[in-house]
Amino acid sequence: MNPIHRKIAAAVGLASVAASLTIGAASAQGEPVGTPGEPQCHGQRVSTGNQRVENIVIPELGVNLQNFRLTPPHRAQLLNTFQEQGRTNWTVQEFQQRVRAACQ
C-alpha cells in the first residue's frame, strides 16, 4: 500500500470512529420530557421519572440503593446521596421547586 492509500485508509477509519462516537453520544442523551412553558411540563417530568430503576451501586462513593424508584422522595434522596450543590439536606419540596424552575 503506498503512502496515499495509507492516508486515505487512515482518514476513512478516523471518520468512522468519529461518526460512531457522535451517534453513540446522541442516543445516550434520551428524549426530553415536558416542554418548558407548557402547563403540563411539571407533571410530565415527575410522572415520567416515577418508575423503578436498576440498583444504583457505586462502592467508591458508598452508594448502595436497591430496588430504587424515582419518586419525588427518592429523587430528593438521590440529591442528598450525591451531595448536589454540596448539600445533604434536600427536601421533596425543594426537588419539586427545581422541576418547576426547569419547566419555566
Average pLDDT across the chain, whole number:
75
Segment 36-45 shows an average pLDDT of 89
Q: What phi and psi, each to the nearest 5 degrees, are found at residue 39? A: -60, -30
- Domain span at 85: 33-103
Q: Do 11 and 51 reside in the same domain of the chain? A: no
Q: Do 5 and 45 reside in the same domain of the chain? A: no
Q: Do 85 and 68 reside in the same domain of the chain? A: yes
- How many domains is the chain partitioned into structurally? 2
Q: Do 49 and 75 reside in the same domain of the chain? A: yes
Within 13 Å, how many C-alpha atoms sit on residue 100's CB side? 6
Q: Do 70 and 37 reside in the same domain of the chain? A: yes
Share of the chain above pLDDT 90, in %: 15
Q: Which of 2, 33, 9, 13 is nearest to 102 (CA)?
A: 33
Segment 26-36 shows an average pLDDT of 66
CB contact at 8 A, 31 and 47: no
Q: Do 9 and 56 reside in the same domain of the chain? A: no
